[in-house]
Chain A
Amino acid sequence: MNDLTQAPVRDAAYNFAYLDEQTKRMIRRALLKAVAVPGYQVPFGGREMPLPYGWGTGGMQLTAAILGDDDVLKVIDQGADDTTNAVSIRRFFARTAGVETTESTPDATVIQTRHRIPETPLHADQIMVYQVPIPEPLRFIEPSETETRTMHALNDYGVMHVKLYEDIATFGHIATAYAYPVMVDERYVMDPSPIPKFDNPKLDMSPALMLFGAGREKRLYAVPPFTRVTSLDFEDHPFEAQKWEECCAICGSRESFLDELILDDAGTQSFVCSDTYYCAQRVSQQEQGQ
């Protein structure tokens, strides 16, 4: 946690937030178009970042393009502030941009996330930046980019419903548990990045601006605040988020997304909150209450 307690000092050997200005302008222009056409994937000239694809290069390029010196950055990986990916990216921007970093969800102005939306409600003036591996929701059904682009252009999403229906035919329910496809403002089908479907309802009419960046695929897209985002479903098989019978072993929450831990060879299970800030907040509130 040392990187949080020390005041960040910007390494002047790098341009502010690492990327050069022309790259930032290119990404910024693409972001404006992404906001103007919610859910549409804008191609951009993705740059190589000093870490491998799959580690959040798309999200980092977006964060680098939007970040200012008065921003407060939070980075989470599967809900946790203290995992390798989150710590590395936070330190990267503390060093290259000298921005303040935080683990607190309400205090952050920019939240870069890998695969979760924080449990604490977001507010206006916050920007969520999602790391996206495969931005095209139709890719596993139709491998050709030319074809999927035409399908988006023609608003032709029948195959997506066929895929969900095949789930119902095989398993009796829609088996997709993460990266659950959504319809944005009744026009574009969008991959919400591999967040659990538990988080999908948080996208709908959120007061925060949501930006999505895929570095390998060089695509970015956006959901503006207060935009209708509906998870695809059927009248007789409505969308349903995960639920647990257990509660968090640390804070006792029954509302949050739980990670399953296997404790021994006998398969003893325990469940804990995936959102570490939310869990720690609840624990400290409970301690104060005693």
Chain B
Amino acid sequence: MSAQLLQPAFADPVLDAQRGFRAALKALAGPGLIQTLQPTPSLEGLEPATYALCLALLDVDTPLWLAPSFDTPLIRANLAFHCGCPLTAKREDAGFALLAADDLLDLSGFDHGNDRYPDQSCTLLVQLPSLDGGAGLKWRGPGIESEHGVALPVADGFWRERERRIEFPRGLDLFFAAGHDLIGLPRSTRIAEERA
């Protein structure tokens, strides 16, 4: 691993990680509402919010699955160095996964947890070009007072794929990241059929 590969991570590892986590917690506790992270470093291929989630949540206990578009020597080297997370080629073993919009149509293989331990499921970190501009949908469920209108730019097929993968309490939790912004989509959120 050459020295040039390594890029800076959080300037203040303790408090920046805490801020990243609190943004993630708020995003998941208020599905569909955009949380904006304070300025954090980025990596070629990983935008600030995506990188901040990785730095805040990953460590030696969390095997990470990288979608092909993120599987670069730079990302591998920096996540290995700053997080120390093992990388896995098998989706079944992943505690976290990094995906792009194109990868959302096939979520097979990721651990959904089981009925006794639904918390053992994989968490998907999805990097998008933006968090707006797609088809508007109405989100309901825990964390949402009545409903949130969200227009994530993802293919229709993703929503069918998500539906197929959720048998509550089993399911997949997702974070969508773009630039410094973040949206959480826990398995408990119910996506209404009608368009907003």
Binding site for B on A (CB under 8 A): 15-16, 21-22, 24-26, 28-38, 40, 42-43, 65-69, 149-150, 152-154, 185, 187-188, 205, 207, 209, 222-228
Docked-complex contact B169 and A35, CB < 8 angstroms? no
Chain B min CB distance to A62 (Å): 11
Given contacts A150-B116, A185-B142, A187-B169, contact A25 B17 (CB under 8 A): yes
Contacts of A21 in B (CB 8 A): 13-14, 17
Contacts of A152 in B (CB 8 A): 116
Contacts of A223 in B (CB 8 A): 142
Contacts of B171 in A (CB 8 A): 36
Docked-complex contact A226 and B188, CB < 8 angstroms? no
Docked-complex contact A33 and B56, CB < 8 angstroms? no
Bits for B14-32, please: 1 = Cβ < 8 Å to A, else 0: 1101110110111011100
Q: Does B80 contact A (CB under 8 A)?
A: no
Q: Does B106 contact A (CB under 8 A)?
A: no
Given contacts A15-B14, A25-B56, A34-B119, contact A226 B28 (CB under 8 A): no
Interface centre among A22, A36, A150 (most CB of B within 10 A): A36
Docked-complex contact A187 and B168, CB < 8 angstroms? yes
Partner of A42, one of B22, B57, B119, B144: B119
A21-B17, A224-B30 known; 13 other A-B pairs, CB under 8 Å?
A: A22-B61, A25-B17, A28-B56, A36-B171, A36-B173, A36-B187, A67-B18, A207-B145, A209-B26, A209-B29, A224-B29, A226-B143, A228-B142
Closest-by-CB residue of B relative to A25 is B59
Q: Does B48 contact A (CB under 8 A)?
A: no
Q: Does B63 contact A (CB under 8 A)?
A: no
Bits for B148-189, please: 1 = Cβ < 8 Å to A, else 0: 000000000000000000001101010000000000001110
Nearest 5 A/B pairs, CB to CB: A153-B115, A36-B186, A33-B119, A224-B143, A227-B142
Closest-by-CB residue of B relative to A146 is B116
Closest-by-CB residue of A relative to B18 is A68
Docked-complex contact A37 and B188, CB < 8 angstroms? yes
**Interface set, chain B 50-92, CB cutoff 8 A to A:** 56-62
Q: Does B41 contact A (CB under 8 A)?
A: no
Q: Does B123 contact A (CB under 8 A)?
A: yes
Docked-complex contact A40 and B118, CB < 8 angstroms? yes
Contacts of A34 in B (CB 8 A): 119
CA distance A184 to B145 in the complex (A): 15
CA distance A228 to B114 in the complex (A): 24
Contacts of B25 in A (CB 8 A): 28, 31-32, 35, 66, 209
Docked-complex contact A224 and B142, CB < 8 angstroms? yes
CA distance A225 to B25 in the complex (A): 12
